[in-house]
Amino acid sequence: QKEVEQNSGPLSVPEGAIASLNCTYSDRVSQSFFWYRQYSGKSPELIMSIYSNGDKEDGRFTAQLNKASQYVSLLIRDSQPSDSATYLCAVEISSGSARQLTFGSGTQLTVLP
């Protein structure tokens, strides 16, 4: 089992719809969770961070965290073609003597005009 798992997609939604991206993780004591967006050929850029159970909203983006289920999701409301990118879930995972940020393989999202 991978430490951080995402559906690779591709996920296609029409413009204006809600895109829902999901992520599960293996480390029960993880405390820090992030969503990054990565355009083709570019480096990841931070969209959201979430540390507590529940929802966190920032503009059109909502991150949801459920530590009991080891599940974190990202909702994108009113999706725009410019949201078309790969979305990476990142979780702080215990590894050796330290904790490090571990990424999923990403979900490719296409927003159709």
Partner 1 sequence: DTGVSQDPRHKITKRGQNVTFRCDPISEHNRLYWYRQTLGQGPEFLTYFQNEAQLEKSRLLSDRFSAERPKGSFSTLEIQRTEQGDSAMYLCASSLNVGSPLHFGNGTRLTVT
Identify the DSSP state of 9.
-
* Residue in 52, 55, 100, 112 binding partner 1, rule: CB under 8 A: 100
CA distance 67 to 49: 14
CA distance 70 to 26: 7
Task: Name residue, tokens 């490719």.
Answer: 108
Span interacting with partner 1, options 13-21, 44-52, 59-67, 69-77, rule CB under 8 A? 44-52
19 vs 87 by CB, closer to partner 1: 87
Contact (Cβ atoms closer than 8 angstroms) between residue 3 and residue 90: no
Span interacting with partner 1, options 11-19, 52-60, 65-73, 95-103, rule CB under 8 A? 95-103
CA distance 68 to 98: 23
4 binds partner 1 (CB under 8 A): yes
Shortest distance, position 49 Cβ to partner 1, whole Å: 5
Residues near partner 1 (CB under 8 A): 4, 8, 31-32, 34, 42-46, 49, 51, 88, 90, 92, 95-106
